[in-house]
Amino acid sequence: MTEAGDGIEAAEEIPDGVALVRPRVEAVLCEYLGLPDPESLLWDGDGDIPIRWDNALYFVRLLDRDPVLVRVFAFILREIEGSPALLEALNSINADIVSARIFWNDGSVIAATEIPAASVEVGDLAHACWSVGSLAAWAGTELQNAFGGVLPPVPEVESEGTSETAE
């Protein structure tokens, strides 16, 4: 679902550090999403878990960093030209939000945030998912109306994060 060159790198294989924290993150994701077990999580071919939020789709990914991080991100617009006006609008949005950021990279507008994986709790993950999911749901239409671009398709997925689960 994500693509090379989109500013959000995908792992080709699961590094040791990621493998150590993955069971904890999976358990926290299951609790957050109300799923019975980690086998219920839908991992895509890039190693992401796609989750629907309203009219947007965001992804959860583990990053092999020191420390290992959980990245929550969403493509807000695709096929959009970078321009001073767009960057000014994104900067204005960033000045008024907390817990996430929105940026343009290689023809896409992306929202993202990261949290440490080893100590992640349900509340931390719920907040990260809310900050990216709600930002993507709001900003997509607003930015498309002002600057063009293409809203990414939001296929039906098994996992859905909502404001009711983000307490």
Specify the long-range contacts of residues 37-45, CB closer than 8 Å, at least 24 apart.
Answer: 40/158, 41/159, 42/157, 42/158, 42/159, 44/1, 44/2, 45/1
CA dist 26 and 30 (Å) reads 6
At 6 the pLDDT is 45
pLDDT attached to residue 162: 52
Give me the average pLDDT of each 10-residue run along the chain (167 residues): 47 81 96 94 91 93 95 97 97 96 98 97 97 96 96 76 46
Find out whether 55 and 136 touch, Cβ atoms under 8 Å.
no
Lookup: tokens for 112: 């993202």
Cα–Cα distances (Å) from 85 to 34, 43, 89, 93, in that order, read 41, 36, 6, 12
